[in-house]
Amino acid sequence: MQFILVAGVILYAGSQLARYGDILAEKSGMGRTWMGLVLIASTTSLPELFTGLSSAIQLLPNIAVGDVLGSCMFNLVIVSIMDARSKVPLIAQAQPGHALAVGFGVLLVGLVGTGMIVDRHLLMTSWFGVMTPLLLLVYLAAVRVLFLFERRRLLVTPEVKAEMRYAEISIRKAGYRYAGAAVIVVLAATVLPGLASQIAERTGLSNALVGSYFVALATSLPEVVVCLAALRLGAIDLAIGNVLGSNLFNILILALDDIAYPSGPLLGVASASNLITVFSVILMYGLFLAGLTYRASKKRLRLAWDTGSILAVYAASIILMYLLRNANL
């Protein structure tokens, strides 16, 4: 019940973060597509950031790693949730340029999987893993390349200027409320790791399983709120950009968690069962990219073939992680 209560607090505060982040985006004059990929994505990922840092400091490596990778999986499931509410295939409505963010996402997650294998066997002279500096550099490069790509795309096909929806709210007021919501998210997120560890102990589930699904679901609630709100407004690219941008930011969080973890390379001490989520995220990215390229014009079931397959991979990963919960990995 405490876990559900904290998750509810994160849901409310996260939705406020997204709202006032969108207001700040409007007041600054920057496009909402770019804001979905960077500002809104990093905003809705604040629960993952502070949950991960808190877990690392509390010496709970599987909660920290599981939260980040599980959030990446669940964020892609949000695309399936949105598709279930759309009459036509959702991914087919997105602009093809999202493939660039998918490519960087696969690269970053692949580096995480490599780090989990390499850090176990290399003798490290520093407390962080060999892949952590590379993760930081690749993330910064991804943000730079995506910015340049979006600016070039808008020069070729300018978007219609979005209607001013927050004229009555000043940028100062939005900034204060944004900061207030961020404080609430930080405080709530620091409580999650301890509660998750207790759930793992009392249920007999592994920390990796609890982190990958229970904690990841709780910290991904703001993304759900933002994406469904954007879908209602018809802002498909804002919603998709939020999902893909959040996943990129999540890997940055994992690098920061590694630096904050005081007992050696974080990826090296985390359970190898977390590789299940690594491979699942890569499979889900592949299905997303296939759907974005094929661009189906209609769907026969509630879910299109691509989003239905993404949901199936997520379900399979839960089953596999549960079956291997007691394995010595």
pLDDT in tens, 187-225: 776 776 677 777 777 777 777 777 677 777 777 777 777
What span, in angstroms and rounded, lies between the C-alpha atoms of 6 and 193?
Answer: 11
Question: Is the pLDDT score of 17 beyond 90?
Answer: no
pTM over 0.85: no
Q: How many CB atoms lie within 10 A of CB 97?
A: 17
The CATH number given to whatever domain includes residue 270 is 1.20.1420.30
Contact present, 207 and 71 (Cβ < 8 Å)? no
Residue 328 domain-assigned (yes or no): no
Question: Is the pLDDT score of 108 beyond 70?
Answer: yes
* Of 47 and 269, the one with more pLDDT: 269
pLDDT for res 161: 47
pLDDT for res 109: 96
HSE toward the beta carbon, residue 27, CA cutoff 13 A: 16
- Domain that includes residue 305, residue range: 2-323
Residue 268 domain-assigned (yes or no): yes
Give 161's contacts (C-beta < 8 A, 6+ positions apart).
none
Residue 38 domain-assigned (yes or no): yes
Please give the tally of structural domains in the chain.
1
% of the chain beyond a pLDDT of 90 = 29
Question: Is the pLDDT score of 272 beyond 60?
Answer: yes
Q: Judging by beta carbons within 10 Å of its beta carbon (0-12, 13-18, 19+), is residue 95 exposed, middle or buried?
A: middle
Which is it for the CA torsion 54, 58, 64, 67, positive or negative? negative
Residue 329 domain-assigned (yes or no): no
**Residue in 95, 77, 131 with CA at minimum distance from that of residue 316:** 77
Give 43's contacts (C-beta < 8 A, 6+ positions apart).
17, 18, 21, 178, 222
What span, in angstroms and rounded, lies between the C-alpha atoms of 132 and 174?
Answer: 34
Q: How far is CA 258 from CA 22, 113, 229, in A?
A: 30, 14, 33
Kindly indicate the confidence band of residue 318, based on its pLDDT and cuts at 50, 70 and 90.
Answer: confident
The torsion region of residue 298 among left (phi > 0), alpha (psi -120 to 50) and beta comes to beta
What span, in angstroms and rounded, lies between the C-alpha atoms of 169 and 24?
Answer: 10
Residue 63 domain-assigned (yes or no): yes
**136-156 pLDDT, tens per residue?**
999 999 988 988 887 777 666
* Of 150 and 62, the one with more pLDDT: 62
What span, in angstroms and rounded, lies between the C-alpha atoms of 284 and 167?
Answer: 39
**46-67: string of b/e by CB count within 10 Å (b at 16+)?**
bbbbbbbbbbbeeebbbbbbbb
Question: Is the pLDDT score of 283 beyond 50?
Answer: yes
Go through the chain and tell me how many residues it has: 329
**248-258: string of b/e by CB count within 10 Å (b at 16+)?**
bbbbbbbbbbb
How far from the centroid of its chain's Cα atoms is residue 119's Cα?
Answer: 24
pLDDT for res 141: 94
pLDDT for res 160: 46
Question: Is the pLDDT score of 166 beyond 70?
Answer: no
pLDDT for res 162: 46
Residue 37 domain-assigned (yes or no): yes
Determine phi and psi for 232, rounding to 5 degrees: -65, -30
Contact present, 274 and 112 (Cβ < 8 Å)? no
Question: Is the pLDDT score of 186 beyond 80?
Answer: no
Segment among 30-34, 125-129, 304-308 with least mean pLDDT: 30-34
